[in-house]
Amino acid sequence: MSGVWVVMEERAGRVSRLSWEALAAARQLGAQIDLAVSVAIVGAAVEPLAAEIAAKGVSKVVRVEHPLLAPYTADGFLSALSQLVEKELPAYAVLPHSYQVRDYAPALAARMGQVLISDVVAIGEGQVFTRQLLQGRLNGSYRHSGSGTCFVSVQAGAFRVEEIAEAGTAAIEVFTPAIEPAQIRTKPSEPFRGSAQTVDLSSAPLIVSVGRGIKGEENLPLVQELATALGAELAASRPICDNGWLPLERQVGSSGQTVSPKLYLAVGISGAIQHLVGMKGSQCIVAINKDADAPIFEVANYGIVGDLFEVVPALTEAVKAAQQ
C-alpha cells in the first residue's frame, strides 16, 4: 500500500476549489497515520495543473493523461483510475464530492471490491469518517474494514484549505493508461446554460428564501411581500423550483446559485446539505421553521421556531413599521 492519494479535478482550466479541499482532507488523514500524500490529476493534457499542485506540499503528482480522457466520461475515468489504483495500491483514495466524482467513483470503488464512503464532512481519530444522514438531521460515523483501498469523497466546504509555507516542489510523473475508443460508451455534449440567467442572486445584499414549508404555490405572495418590504431578492430551495413554483434561476444550493448576502432569511427551509452549501457563507442567517431540530438552525444566527404562516406576515408588518 502506498499512502494517501487525492484525485484532483480541473474546472474551467483551473484546479477546482473542491479539489483543494479534498487535498486538505487528505493531508489531515495523512498526518493522522503518518502517510505521504500524492496526487493524481486526470485529463488529456494536465501539465500546468500538475505543476501548480506540485508546489503545494505533496510528495508526488501523477499526470494521468490520454487523449480519450477529455471530455470527461465515466468509462474513460473508470478505466484510467482503476489502472492507476492497481499500480499504486493506495491505502486511501480521497476525492472531491463533485458531480463528476459522483458519476464514476462508486463504480471505481466497486471495481476494486470496495465501497466509497461518500460525502464525508469530518475525519476523526482512528480513521472514523463522518457523513450526514436523513438530510443532515443525523450524523453517521463510518469505518472501512478489510484490506484494500479505502475510497472517500469529501463534501464541499467541509475542509479548510490552508496555505502551505515552504512547500517545495514535488516530482511529477506521467501515467498513460491503456484505453480503447470502444470502451467509451457515452457521448457527452459541451455543457450549456439552462435558460438565460436574468437574476443574479450572488450580488443581492438581502435575500428572502423559501422552502417546502410554504406548502403551495398560492402561498408564495406571503414571502414575496416580505421580500418586497425588505427590498430583498426572492430565492428558493430546490423543491420549490422542482415544482415549477419559482424559476430555476432563483434556486440556491449546489445545483443552483451560491450566495453570500448580508442577510439570508430562510423561510420554511429545513436545510438539506445541498441547500446549505449554497448559502452558509452569508453574513447573517435567519431561519423561520416549525421544526426546532431542522438542520437550518445549525447555521442560523437567529431562529424563530414557529408557524411561518403567522411569523412571516408579522415580520412583514414589523419591517414596514421600522421603516416609518
Partner 1 sequence: MKIIVAIKQVPERDAQVRIDASGKWIDESGVQYALNESDAYALEEALQLKEQQGGEVVVVSAGPERVGTTIREALAKGADRGIHIDCDDLGDRDALGVAKLLAAAVKPENADLLLTGLQSDDLGLGQTGVILAELLGLPHATLILHVEKTDAGLTVKRELEEGWFQTIVLPTPAVLTMQSGGTKLRYATLMGIKKAKTKEVRCVTVAELGVDAAPVITLERVSLPQKQKSTQFIQGSAKEAAATLVEKLKFEARVL
Residues numbered 54-83 forming contacts with partner 1, rule: CB under 8 A: 74-75, 78
Residue 140 engages partner 1 in binding (rule: CB under 8 A):
yes
Residues 4-23 that bind partner 1 (CB under 8 A): none
Q: Please state the closest distance from residue 39 (CB atom) to partner 1, in A.
A: 22
The dihedral formed by the CA atoms of 242, 246, 248 and 252, expressed in degrees to the nearest 10: -90
Q: Please state the closest distance from residue 35 (CB atom) to partner 1, in A.
A: 19
Residue 191 engages partner 1 in binding (rule: CB under 8 A):
yes
Phi, psi of 305 (to 5 degrees): -90, 110
Q: Please state the closest distance from residue 157 (CB atom) to partner 1, in A.
A: 11
| HSE-CB for 203 with a 13 A CA cutoff | 3
| Cell numbers that stand for 223 in this block | 414571502
323 burial (CB, 10 Å; 0-12 / 13-18 / 19+) is exposed
| Cell numbers that stand for 243 in this block | 415544482
| HSE-CB for 98 with a 13 A CA cutoff | 19
Q: Which residues, other chains included, contact 45 with Cβ-Cβ below 8 Å and sequence gap of 6+? A: 65, 70
| CA quadruple 52, 54, 114, 45: dihedral sign | positive
Q: Which is nearer to partner 1, 51 or 70 (CB)?
A: 70
Q: Which residues, other chains included, contact 282 with Cβ-Cβ below 8 Å and sequence gap of 6+? A: 207, 259, 260, 261, 262, 263, 264
x/- mask, partner 1, residues 145-184, rule CB under 8 A, reads: xx-x------------------------------------
Q: Which is nearer to partner 1, 19 or 270 (CB)?
A: 270
Q: Which is nearer to partner 1, 39 or 285 (CB)?
A: 285
Residues 235-264 that bind partner 1 (CB under 8 A): 238-239, 241-244, 248-249, 254-258, 262-263
Residue 209 engages partner 1 in binding (rule: CB under 8 A):
no
Residue 137 engages partner 1 in binding (rule: CB under 8 A):
yes
Among 192, 198, 203, 216, binds partner 1 (CB under 8 A): 192
Among 31, 47, 67, 113, binds partner 1 (CB under 8 A): 113
Residue 134 engages partner 1 in binding (rule: CB under 8 A):
yes
Cα 32-36-41 angle, rounded to 5 deg: 120
Residue 322 engages partner 1 in binding (rule: CB under 8 A):
yes
Residue 98 engages partner 1 in binding (rule: CB under 8 A):
yes
Residue 106 engages partner 1 in binding (rule: CB under 8 A):
yes
| Number of Cβ within a 10 Å radius of residue 128 | 12
Residue 201 engages partner 1 in binding (rule: CB under 8 A):
no
